[in-house]
Structure 1
């Protein structure tokens, strides 16, 4: 199917590439279908593009490349909602808030997106009782200078 996107123009996607968010994502509850598009070849960044709304695309990245100590545990309820079993292919992403200059960009570590690619299911998990926030500087060296 042809999909109009915010950053990539018109792209062809297969139905099995669509990630379904049963309850949408906070702030966008009606948005339940997304696809992941690499921002550029060999880039650590992706666009999580809405299938419903062409102008809605979130810039995301895998947080472990930037935050080596980042970790959290999924509850049994979250695992059930995502139909996670032992051999599931899981990906964790975080939504970025782009800044100018780019080195000031922040990552939302308090609400990671967990995708079970085996079942094409996604969920944004809100972490409670954590030191993680919605605005961690992506480039830590920028904090120390």
Structure 2
């Protein structure tokens, strides 16, 4: 199928690459289908809406930037995403890309959790956690201009 995207132009995708978000994403409740598109030559991935070409979220694997990042999924999320094995799970965090890029932040409080096997996804809002919506990707460059 043809997919118009925010960052990649028009692409051919296979329908079995589409992740289904039963409840959408907070703030985008009607957006229920997304694909993952790597951003070439970067560690970033775009969570691209299938329905809305202009809607794409830049994401990262949080464990690559935040070495002590640790979350536990509640039973409702495990059931909703039909998770049966850790090997089927991928976790990403949405970025707020800033100018300059060194000020970019990651939302560690609301990770995107995907079941690769079943192609199901959900943005999970973590409670009772030290994580916030804005963690600097490059804290060592804070205040550098």
| Match of residue 68 from structure 1 | 67
Offset of 1:143 from its aligned partner? 3.5
Structure 2 residue 29 is the aligned partner of structure 1 residue 29:
yes
Q: Distance in 1 between matches of 2:24 and 2:45?
A: 19
**Unpaired runs of at least 5, structure 2:** none
Shift of residue 87, structure 1, vs aligned partner: 5.9
- Equivalent residue for 2:102? 103
Q: 1:116 matched to which residue of 2? A: 115
The root-mean-square deviation of aligned C-alpha atoms, in Å, is 1.3
Counterpart in the other structure of 2:10: 10
Determine the C-alpha separation between the residues in 2 that align with 1:77 and 1:143: 38
Partner of 2:58: helix, strand, or coil?
strand
Query: For the Cα contact (< 8 Å) 1:60–1:93, is it kept in 2?
Result: yes
Question: How far apart in 1 are the matches of 2:46 and 2:83?
Answer: 23
Distance 1:106 1:4 in 2: 27
1:128 is the counterpart of 2:127: yes
The 1:120/1:2 distance shift into structure 2, 3 A limit, reads: same
Give how far 1:89 is off.
Answer: 1.4
Shift of 1:88: 4.6
CA distance in 1, matches of 2:36, 2:123: 15
State the 1:142 CA deviation: 1.7
Runs of 4+ in 1 over 6 A off after TM superposition: none
**Aligned-partner Cα distance in 2 for 1:53–1:66:** 29
Question: Residue 141 of structure 1: CA displacement?
Answer: 1.4
Point out where structure 1 has 5 or more consecutive residues left out of the alignment.
none
Aligned residues: 144
Whole-angstrom distance in 2 between the partners of 1:88 and 1:119: 12
CA distance in 1 between counterparts of 2:51 and 2:7 reads 15
